[in-house]
Structure 1
Amino acid sequence: MYRSVNRHRNRRHALVATVVGSALVASACSAEASSNEADGRAHIVGLIEVKGDSPNALDDYNVGAQIAVDEINAAGGILGEPLEYTRIPASVTDPQNARTAFLKAVDLNPSAIIGFPGGGSLEALTRDVDAAEIPMIHISSDGKLARGAEAGSEWLFSVNPDDTARARGAVELSKQLGADTIGIIATDETFGRTSTENTLAVAETSGIVVEGVRYVPPTATDLTGPILEFQNVDTVVSWTFPNVLALQMNQMLQNQIDVPVITGNSGPLVSANDLAPREALKNLYAVTPCAPKLGESVAGHNFAATYEEKQGTEPTASATQVYDAVHFLAQAMEEAGTTTDHEKIVEAMRTIEWQDGACASRYYSDEAQYLGHQMIAESFAGEGSIVAEYAVPDA
């Protein structure tokens, strides 16, 4: 049984101009660690990289978190006190770096943790998550991290839907585009391999023929071989990081390969960060949880306007999900009536249904502790459009 909660929308809308105009104060985003355990204020740690931290890093995730923190604090904070936000860079490709970052976060004893867009690093430290007993929302859709799965934890939630949803959407979209054959390019790490395995399983029962799979390094600098190999398939499915997807789209344009490409959250990241020219993106599609500027959600449009005012570009699904994750945690703490009792916060996360998200219209935890339950397919041709929507059943 879920308890429905909503933000006070009129209060939030009145604050948009204030949030846009205000600076992101140092106390809300400090790279220096300082625990709020003594005064009981809410404290969220973001295990999130920004540009310059690694070759794969972008600012989207952190900007989404910062906007949410500013809105919450402008509206009175959590339980009447300001929310503190601390960012600690955490690698999505280096498990040892990721563990060091996580343990730094644990030392702060925050109310909750968010982060890890890639699931591979997190898989290696979920026993540390168990030991820490701090609620965490991760940004990956890695099925191995689901509650009850091999690397899952009672303390771990995903803001995404079940990780098979993206693969089902990609195959459905391929068929919608008239494809009989697909080729798969994937980064050689957990996200790429898991997404490929899911896609192969869905394709086997759908009538789509997979002509081949090519795994490439997350730091690839030349994809000529894979793209030439798949130049005659009907659709290329690309489960890759943004830097690799950008390289792929640029080299397909250079080689005059005119084949639709379907990807995941990397698609909006490549587009929003201008990692490839518009001409290279005309055949690009992405199966993601949302496209806030293109959808019908009022909360999504408001977030998109705030983000665009700050960044000069429209928000990605990734930025929007992190924004929603911070707000969801704020609602859970309000519902639990505490910012320090981790067990009560986790219980609230399992029982509330939050209906004011900018990405998903509603968030609630299923048994596997996935919070999101929708996917869309976005085209990047022209001004962009949503070409399909997919409901995702509980895991």
Structure 2
Amino acid sequence: MFKKFVSRMITGATVVTTACAAMATAPISVAAQEEGDTVRIGSLFELSGAVAAYGQTQSNAIKMAVEEINEAGGISGKQVEIVEFDTKSDDTEAAVLATRLASQENVSVIIGPATTSQMQAAIPIVNEFEVPLVSPSVTNTDIVFDDDGNVHPFAYRTSWPNSFQGAGIGKFAYENLNAEKTVVIYDNSSDYGVGLYDNFQENYEGEIVSVETVQPSDSDFSAIVTNLMAQEFDSIVILAFYQTAGPLVKQIREMGFEQPIVGSNGFGNDIIYELALPENMNDVYYASLYPILEDDEFVQKYQEKFNSDPDMFAALAYDTVYIVKQAIEQAGSTDPIAVNEALENLGSFEGITGSFIYDENHNPTKNVVSMIEIQGAEETGVHEVVFD
């Protein structure tokens, strides 16, 4: 369901798309350029399975960006090929396909995956084969560090980390909604949910009166809703992906709770409206990495091409392609090690999601968390939480 305010995205690719199976399979189609005449970029996303909604929009955005680049002459005069694999939302598959991309497909860089566990599966592979990996959407704070606290040399992201998102959600609930007491419901089966909860509770200045946990396989939240009846609170914070958050919002609203619901960026896919039902999407707020107006050129291009609406992660994926382009041009080479060095020293990047540089931890330097307001199943406003 497309709203007044949405997240954005852009145009796609002269593509070399490859399919994947439990073991990597042969390409679906291969562009006609001779070896050496193209820049090969790996695309590793969850195109099917539990979190496919995140991967599909990012894959689309990558194709759109590459198409634009190729129409403008390519990267350093070379056309760009996308070598795409579907992880099927499976961590083992992600590791297998990352190995294929890094060791066999002659790619300069890999873009993806969309989620924390998939990226965690791919990082050891790209470190071993020395091919940079850039995830547009993974927010887990510690994803860029190894067990000893050292930065993974070949892992990057385009989104802000959970430490920033969690702090923004806490600040918004307390300061903007005047929520002095809140309940928190989070997904304790994922690093995403656990990390967000830890960061939220460290930064929320009010009182957390109750904490409940959920898992993606849950569908009946009656026990949680019953527990809420015994509490006094000013807001409900939900830190989970859309497939869990949607049914949870539905059951909370259907039991008569009218307090504001504050969600993480996991709310940022239109499927949540189908799961929660539009009549329950009222006085809901969620963190967004890139909110924009409906009439934005980027959104219109995406709608024209795919006959569907983009989400915030699509915009980040689009920008990620242009980050890669800038790095390859700066490196003057398609060699993965040279591209990695250029990423580390990228300097300022100007994209549709804003301007930033990579810090020493391979995180983008961003200082704003945007909170999207939903009233009557319409995205009616954007509230910016700004940090110094």
TM (normalized to structure 1)?
0.82
Match of 2:227 among 226, 229, 233: 229
The question of whether the paired residues in 2 share the 8 Å contact of 1:353 and 1:362 is answered with no
CA positional deviation for 1:91: 5.0
Is residue 336 of structure 1 aligned with residue 342 of structure 2?
Answer: no
Is residue 126 of structure 1 aligned with residue 120 of structure 2?
Answer: no
Please identify runs of 4+ aligned residues in structure 1 that moved more than 6 A.
Answer: 34-37
The question of whether the paired residues in 1 share the 8 Å contact of 2:374 and 2:381 is answered with no
The question of whether the paired residues in 2 share the 8 Å contact of 1:265 and 1:288 is answered with yes
Partner of 1:366: 359
Q: Which amino acid aligns with 1:369?
A: H
CA positional deviation for 1:343: 2.2
Summarize deviations over 1:62-105 as a string: whole Å, max 9, x none.
1221211111111111111111112212255x432221222122
Distance change >3 Å, CA 79–CA 141, structure 1 → 2: same
Distance change >3 Å, CA 153–CA 108, structure 1 → 2: same
Partner of 1:4: none
Q: Which amino acid aligns with 2:140?
A: D
Output the CA distance in 2 between the equivalents of 1:28 and 1:272.
32
Q: Gapped runs of 5+ residues in structure 2?
A: 1-9, 20-25
CA positional deviation for 1:329: 0.6
The question of whether the paired residues in 1 share the 8 Å contact of 2:260 and 2:284 is answered with yes
CA RMSD of aligned residues (A): 2.7
Partner of 2:7: none
**SS of equivalent to 1:384:** strand
TM (normalized to structure 2)?
0.84
Partner of 2:372: 378
Partner of 2:186: 186
* Segment of structure 1 superposing worse, 328-337 or 347-356: 347-356
Partner of 2:197: 196
Is residue 90 of structure 1 aligned with residue 87 of structure 2?
Answer: yes
CA positional deviation for 1:355: 4.3
**SS of equivalent to 1:368:** coil
Is residue 170 of structure 1 aligned with residue 207 of structure 2?
Answer: no
The question of whether the paired residues in 2 share the 8 Å contact of 1:119 and 1:140 is answered with yes
Summarize deviations over 1:281-322 as a string: whole Å, max 9, x none.
21221112111336xxxxx93212211223444421111111
The question of whether the paired residues in 2 share the 8 Å contact of 1:265 and 1:318 is answered with no
Distance change >3 Å, CA 387–CA 273, structure 1 → 2: closer
- Map of 1:261-276 to 2, 5 A cutoff? 261-270=261-270, 274-276=274-276
Distance change >3 Å, CA 234–CA 271, structure 1 → 2: farther
CA positional deviation for 1:323: 0.9
Partner of 2:296: 301
Structure with greater strand share of residues: 2
Partner of 2:208: 210
Partner of 1:322: 317
Output the CA distance in 2 between the equivalents of 1:133 and 1:37.
24
Output the CA distance in 2 between the equivalents of 1:392 and 1:87.
37
Q: Percent identity?
A: 20
Distance change >3 Å, CA 44–CA 223, structure 1 → 2: farther
Output the CA distance in 2 between the equivalents of 1:28 and 1:127.
25
Output the CA distance in 2 between the equivalents of 1:177 and 1:322.
31
